[in-house]
Chain A
Amino acid sequence: RKEVEQDPGPFNVPEGATVAFNCTYSNSASQSFFWYRQDCRKEPKLLMSVYSSGNEDGRFTAQLNRASQYISLLIRDSKLSDSATYLCVVIDDTGGFKTIFGAGTRLFVKA
């Protein structure tokens, strides 16, 4: 089993739609969680942190479920500019601060 797993997609949605991505992780000791966004041929950029209490930033909401070991990202009112690959990131802080990137979920938002 991979340490971090994401549905590769692609997700094809119309503008204005709501779309949700999930990501599962295998190490229950993982401490920190993030979502990154990567545009085509560009570097990944931090989108938002993920907390147990949930984290909302405008149209984006991230949630963490430690019991089931998954994190989610919800995008409301999708824009064309949301088209990108979304990477789930899990950090194991026990000792080596190991950072594990998921393979990413591709999103295409169409007019």
Chain B
Amino acid sequence: KAGVTQTPRYLIKTRGQQVTLSCSPISGHRSVSWYQQTPGQGLQFLFEYFSETQRNKGNFPGRFSGRQFSNSRSEMNVSTLELGDSALYLCASSLSPTNAYEQYFGPGTRLTVT
């Protein structure tokens, strides 16, 4: 099976712009979660989607949003970019959103905000 894919892999944006990141889960996986990884803050949970519905959200401002499509693919959007948004954004998929399922991570999108 193909793994989780994320596009683009690298992105450079300027402050104030917006960005959309894409994630394709493993075939058959219906739950998609997004994380922000930075050296100082570690892995921070952004949100989780299942059946096109956001089930959980982390402690991020409203500038961070996402959605999931009927084929389970997901997008994440960040508006009005700030320098502090520079990070590795990871997408993870799992069979189901129940607590017991492990997550499979994509390679990430490295976002640099200048």
A and B: partners? no
